[in-house]
Every structure is written in structure tokens, then in C-alpha cells.
Homo-oligomer: A and B are copies of this chain.
Amino acid sequence: MKLYGGVETGGTWCVCALGTGPGDIRAREQFPTTCPEETLERVVEFFENHPPPEALGIGSFGPVDLDRNSPTWGQVTTTPKPGWQRTPVATVLRDRLNVAVVFDTDVNAAAVGEQRWGAGRGRASVCYLTVGTGIGAGLIINGKPVHGLVHPEVGHMRIPHDAHADPFGGNCPVHGDCWEGLASGRAIAERWGTLPTELPDNHPAWPLEADYLAQGILSIVCVASPHRVIAGGGVMQRPGLLPIVRQRLRDLVAGYLDTPLLGVGIDDYVVSPELGDDAGVLGAIALAQAANS
């Protein structure tokens, strides 16, 4: 079996792996995503210390340039993450490791991983949503990850925000009360003055969060109509949150879309990931395999 490399350069952690799939990871390492020089150097070291992969898949936090015809292909572009603006992630790794690379967003990689080996198996189209420090989504439609003009940036769409019920103005540095500004883990922490994990189960934070998440998922459903939404990230791991998100989404759809999956069967529509923290790096391996076959 040919070995493939996967790298997920997430906003917080960077994960490297070498293998063929979830049951066959020959080596794996993860470390904090610090400055680009140090982080990419550690990625290079990881792969130099192991047998060379046939190809390398990279799933990067964004925004990134995914256009293969662009002179800035493979770069992180306008990120607020200090030091990472204009970092040519894909070309640095390609040139340092002398290997063919496939470059996508971290969330598209996670969508690919979950569709190949996890909660998206057998679904023709998939949305992988992550609600953590920020909010992002990867989409697979008509057989491939969605790139498009830029790539999906669901966190920055707007959703209804009743400033009387929720006077918090949102904390997106660019947009204020966009979806991410209202419903990310960082927004929850700033609104209530404490970490989400410290909020009790009966706190009003949770029905409010469920409403915001359902509103955003509804927009994803109304625009892209994925066959399944896989909702991951730290905030989604809160016990009890997913069921109330599903219920609220079902209420918002209100029977208009003629499918049980947005009605009585909604537990089978918005689901948890199955690959946990490895969805991104496994998806990166799957992207490398697909490009090489």
C-alpha cells in the first residue's frame, strides 16, 4: 500500500499523519500552530523523519487561495491570525519536501475525511460544520469539495439577531454580529463572561446558542441542500446542545421542505462527526490519495 501524508494546519493545532486511512496511520504528531516559520518547519521535520509519502494533502485554516491558476495559490490570505497573512503554505511544503501537494481548507478536508470514512459515508453531498473558536464549514457537492470564487466562509453570513433579547453586539472584528460573531465559542465566552464549559446546563446561553446555530444551518440547507450536516468543533461537544439545535432547525423549516430528514428524521440529518479530531488530517490523506490515483 502506498503511503500518503496529511497535514491539518488548524487555527490552534497542527496535525501531521502518514498512512493510508483511519485503520492504518503509521505516524502522527500534533503541536500548537504558532508562527508560520516554526509551524511549517515542524511539519517538514515530521515528514523528513519518515518514509516519503506519494503525495501530501493539506487542509489549512483560512481564508486561503484555492485557485490553481492564481499566482497566490496555496496561500493563507486575509486571516487575522498574527503572522500568517500571505503565508505560502502549499508551495513551502511542496518545495521543501519535494512532493506533490493537494491544498484545501481544513473544513473541506474534514468533510472529505468524514465522507470517506466517517459520518458522511454513503451521502452524495455533505456539509462539515465546525463550531469552536470560530465557525466554518466544508462542503462536498457533485463529488468534489466546493471551492468557487473563494471558498465557503459560512461564519460571516448574517442571521437574525434580536438586540433586545440578546444585547451582545457580537465579536467578529470585521462584521460584529455575523454568525461567528454571535455563536462561536469566543462569542459565548465574551457574552457571558465565562468559558462555555463553565456555563450550567440550564443557563439561557444554550437555547440562544441553539437558535443561532439552527438559523445558520438553515441557511446552509436552503442554499446548498446537503444530504447530511456533520456538526463538529468544541462547542458542539456540549452535551444536550445538538438535540436542541435539531429541534430548533425543525421548527424553522416548519414542514416546508418535503423530506423526513428535516422533520421526524432530523436526528439522522444533523449528526456528530465520527472521526473526532482526526477528520481534517484523514481528509487530507484522502485528498492526496484521490489526486494520486
User: A158-187: which residues lie under 8 A (CB-CB) from chain B?
Assistant: 158-161, 174-175
Smallest beta-carbon distance A230→chain B, Å? 14
With A and B bound together, what is the CA distance between A88 and B255 in angstroms? 20
Contact yes or no, B65 A156, CB < 8 A: no
Given A77-B258, A174-B254, A227:B158 Cβ within 8 A: no
CB of A221 closer than 8 Å to a CB of B: yes
Give the docked Cα–Cα distance between A146 and B127 (Å).
Answer: 14
Most buried by B among A147, A218, A225, A252: A225
Known A-B contacts A143-B142, A159-B160, A215-B158; A149 and B226 likewise in contact (beta carbons under 8 Å): yes
B223–A224 CB distance below 8 A: yes
Count chain A residues whose beta carbon lies closer than 8 angstroms to a beta carbon of B: 52
User: In whole angstroms, how far apart are the Cα atoms of A215 and B175 in the complex?
Assistant: 13
Any chain B CB within 8 A of the CB of A154? Answer: yes
Q: Please give the distance in Å from A63's CB to the nearest CB on chain B.
A: 6
User: Which residues of A219-241 have CB atoms within 8 Å of chain B's CB atoms?
Assistant: 219-227
B142 contacts A227, CB within 8 Å? no
Of listed A144, A223, A256, A262, residue having the most chain B CB within 10 A: A223
Residue of A137, A175, A222, A252 most packed against chain B (CB within 10 A): A222
Q: Type the 1/0 row for A131-149, where 1 means its CB is closer than 8 Å to any CB of B.
A: 0000001010111101111
Complex Cα gap A175–B50 (Å): 56
**Cβ-defined partner of A223 (8 Å) among B175, B219, B227:** B219
CB of A194 closer than 8 Å to a CB of B: no
Candidates B137, B156, B225; contact of A149 at CB < 8 Å: B225
Q: Can you list, as one digit per residue, whether each of A43-59 has a CB less than 8 Å from chain B (1) or not (0)?
A: 00000000000000000
